[in-house]
Structure 1
């Protein structure tokens, strides 16, 4: 068995679920999340040299997923600007999906950078400087994206200051 195969199996066995969860938070769709994880793994393990440190591999795969997500959203925005088609997302009648669906729809209204900042801040629990480093932008830019995203999400989800803990 090649070295990369052992590293690949170990990464998926120990961190596969976390990678899928991260991708789902970025994309908001299970199918797209699976595609994003697969594409990132293909890019990372398609290289000639892959290390064996699981933590570094996971960080590298997460970075590949983030870059792929932001790039794909940018391409999609350009495509949607040229095509005039509106598709409604599928609706679930079950009440247990109502909140998750509402949050998913609210996250979908954010720009790719805002959504990436929100996921990195509130899911990955990164600090503003860490997010700025991850996205290769200034800390002020991250703060602006987070503030704009919070305001937009609060409006979308009808959250008031009294309802926040």
Structure 2
């Protein structure tokens, strides 16, 4: 049974990959590398449901739907805004922080209560909004704001003189 599942999927994928790729190239405005990634992820998702309990009546249409959803999901991801450079820059984009300051920052974060640390990481490291942080932590937006203020005050007090080293001139 597994062999026939794989054979059926391989036949479908071989016949449909070209069409999916062309659609993906159009969706990505000509970015063939991203188009290849989208098609690969689409086929991976198709294989997971292929031959399962739920029968797909129109696999071609289903694959197209999966491709569109993959593209839209990709556009929402933070990594979708990354663009490779042809050459690496000669100088760092940002001033490097000394290892001592990094250690101080990690120690100061470790001294925070777990929920305060989670708020700091979500709000300022992952750059999430107050609403997104509240939803992720299952708390109110007021709780996020309060914890944010409290945690930043504790970090400022713990870091003291090291705080000036963290701020780029």
The alignment's TM-score, normalised by the length of structure 1, stands at 0.41
Larger Rg: 2
